[in-house]
Amino acid sequence: MELTTVWFLLIAVLWIGYFFLEGFDFGVGMLLPILGRDDTERRVLINTIGPVWDGNEVWLLVAGGATFAAFPEWYATLFSGFYLPLLLILVALIVRGVAFEYRGKRSSARWKRNWDRCIIAGSFLPALLWGVAFGNIVRGVPIDAEAEYTGTFFTLLNPYALLGGLATLTLFLLHGTVFVALKTHGEIRERARALAVRVGVGTIAVGAAFLLWTQLRLGKPVTWASVLGAAVALVAALLLIRAGREGWAFLATGTAIVLAVVTLFTVLFPNVMPSSTADAYSLTTTNASSTPYTLEIMTWVAAVFTPLVLLYQSWSYWVFRKRIGTSDIPAAH
């Protein structure tokens, strides 16, 4: 297998890891005003992701860095053409991170309420815009012979991409709801289980519409397996959460995310950024890649450090594996 293909697969794995892990982070953030009826309950929700949210974002940094190093032409066209939506995502992630750190610095109810709004918005915008971005990447955007994006911001707001944004938004919301049910006990857990069923129905409808549109318009015969697998995983998640099997339900929603990303990257390959102007202008794993020597060095570095990162992150999840509830939250100072 050529190293360009290897690194395309590795970048796909990084995005899978990011969406799987950061997906429930976004979901929990959006759930603050829904499941958190008072400040103590909102602190419970924040504490479910408190030890891991910043580690989850490392997957995004590595995915961006790997794209820059392995496929610099892809990186340049993507970040110049999608500048505004990616800037909005970056600002939202920064505000969200600051809100997590500053929310508890003062006891003022107004202070906390404002930072809660930052967490909600900082979770909602990326959950929506990542779907819009990947919808456009897979669908294709206007790129000229110099690999320059020739569209506008409004070119990205097409029906297919917007449906992709709704798909990621609802999927992450369901993933986060199941995660809250898995990580809490008491009333919050019961409310999360009930909400997950309602959210799940909408997620199945929107996700099925997006993946079916993708398959019928852009798909390959092999991607039918991942499309149908994602649908089965979502249905299984609803049945499992109703049965009180939160762990298996979380695995099912995670599987749906994995299979959805697999579908998109399989449809994309061997392109990395199709051109809607002319097929000859599309960026591929061949014409957008770095030199073979660069890819070889990157492969050795990845082989050494990736297992260490995975071991450390697995250990952190194991340490903070227990459920929490309002009884575990100390009084605010």
Q: How confident is the model at residue 1 (pLDDT cuts 50, 70, 90)?
A: low
Q: How far apart are the first and last CA of the chain?
A: 58
According to the model, what pLDDT value does residue 308 have? Answer: 87
Q: What is the pLDDT of residues 244-276, one digit of tens each?
A: 899 999 999 999 999 999 999 999 999 999 999
- pTM (whole model) above 0.85: yes
Identify whether 141 is part of a domain. Answer: yes
Q: Supply the angle between the helices 83-102 and 72-81 in degrees, to the nearest 10.
A: 80
Which of the four pLDDT bands, split at 50, 70 and 90, describes residue 332? Answer: low
Contact 266, 220 (CB under 8 A): yes
The answer to whether residue 303 is domain-embedded is no
Alpha-helical runs (H) found in the chain:
3-30, 32-35, 39-49, 53-56, 58-70, 72-81, 83-102, 109-139, 159-183, 187-218, 223-242, 246-268, 292-319
Q: What is the domain range of residue 63? A: 9-293
CATH code of the domain covering residue 263: 1.20.1630
User: Residue 103 in contact with residue 46, Cβ under 8 Å?
Assistant: yes
pLDDT above 90 coverage of the chain, percent: 74
**Rounded distance, CA 178 to CA 27, Å?**
9
Whole-number mean pLDDT of the chain?
92
| Domain contains 2 | no
- Predicted local confidence at residue 104, as pLDDT: 85
Domain count, the chain: 1
- Sign of the Cα pseudo-torsion (284, 78, 85, 52, in order): positive
> Is 307 inside a domain boundary?
no
Question: CA 181 to CA 319: how far, in whole Å?
Answer: 18
CA atoms 16, 193, 34, 99: torsion sign: negative
Q: Is the pLDDT assigned to residue 294 strictly greater than 70?
A: yes
- Which pLDDT belongs to residue 219? 87
Residue pLDDT, tens place only, 88-141: 999 999 999 999 999 988 888 899 999 999 999 999 999 999 999 999 999 999
How far from 75 is each of 61, 80, 142, 248, 273, CA to CA, in Å? Answer: 13, 8, 16, 37, 10
| Position 266 in a domain | yes
Closest CA to 185 of 326, 22, 27: 326
Residue 246 pLDDT: 93
Is the pLDDT assigned to residue 172 strictly greater than 70? yes
pLDDT in tens, 177-192: 999 999 999 899 999 9
pLDDT digits (tens, 9 = 90+) for 295-329: 999 999 888 888 888 898 889 889 888 998 887 77
Task: State the DSSP H helix or E strand holding residue 273, giving kind and residue range, or none if neither.
Answer: strand 271-273
Asked if the structure places residue 328 within a domain, the reply is no
pLDDT in tens, 2-55: 889 999 999 999 999 999 999 999 999 999 999 988 889 999 999 999 888 888
Residue 333 has pLDDT above 90, yes or no: no
The reply to whether 41 falls in a domain is yes
Who contacts 281 (Cβ-Cβ below 8 Å, separation ≥6)? 143, 144, 145, 147, 275
The CA–CA distances, whole Å, from 194 to 78, 190, 207, 214, 215 equal: 40, 6, 20, 31, 32
Whether 319 is in a domain gets the answer no
- Average pLDDT, stretch 198-213? 94
**pLDDT tens per residue, range 112-126:** 999 999 999 999 999
Region label for 323, one of left (φ > 0), alpha (ψ between -120 and 50) or beta (otherwise): beta
Task: Render the burial of 155-172: b for 16+ CB within 10 Å, e for the rest.
Answer: ebebebbbbbbbbbbbbb
Q: Which residues pair with 283 in a beta bridge?
A: 273
Instruction: Provide the pLDDT for residue 183.
Output: 94
169's tokens: 């938004």
Strands 271-273 and 283-284: antiparallel
